[in-house]
Amino acid sequence: MYRKQMIGVIGDSSIDNDQERKIAYEVGYLIAKNNFVLVCGGRAGVMEEACRGALDAGGLTVAILPSSTKEEANPYCNIVIPTGLGWTRNSLVALSSDILICIGGKSGTLSEIAFGWMYNKPIIAFSKESGINGWSAKVAGKKIDDRRNDSIYSVKTAEEAINIAKKFINQKTI
């Protein structure tokens, strides 16, 4: 049986940084070009830019929404799953993803990082050197706690993030 690998993209629901917008789009584009499925919270900001990039590359996007209505999803979401769970849906984004890529982010993103860590998902975060701030820059290269031996992978470019994701997929360590 063949199952497509699903890469979660987590980050800010609003973007005021052109570099963050560019990176989110590139990450989504490369996810699709490498035949992965993009999973996200389905709203605006990083999620919307990543979905737009994935669709431009002919990919598939899945939105796991906090609300109970599909209308909240950004226009680049192919599959929309309204949960009615509010922020609790962040655990579903992390759990359904094989790998998480973090771009910026505020407290909602931080909860997705924590869930990903607890679910033992590889986490890739854009560092401050990438021009991205927020939680990705704060956790890049760090351990959340001692429950795992690895650290959150620190990256500067979309290509670097996807190369790390492909390494995990090729090693079947997810």
Please state, in angstroms and as integers, the Cα–Cα distance from residue 64 to each residue in 41, 61, 110, following that order. Answer: 5, 10, 17
* Domain assignments of the chain as residue spans, ordered by start: 6-167
Q: What is the pLDDT of residue 170?
A: 86
- pTM confidence score: 0.96
Options 1.10.1060.10, 3.40.50.450, 3.40.50.12780, 3.60.40.10; CATH for 6-167 is: 3.40.50.450
DSSP letters spanning 38-67: EEE--SSTHHHHHHHHHHHTT-EEEEEESS
List per-block mean pLDDT (blocks of 10 residues) for the chain, which spans 174 residues.
89 94 98 98 98 98 97 97 96 97 97 98 98 96 95 98 95 65
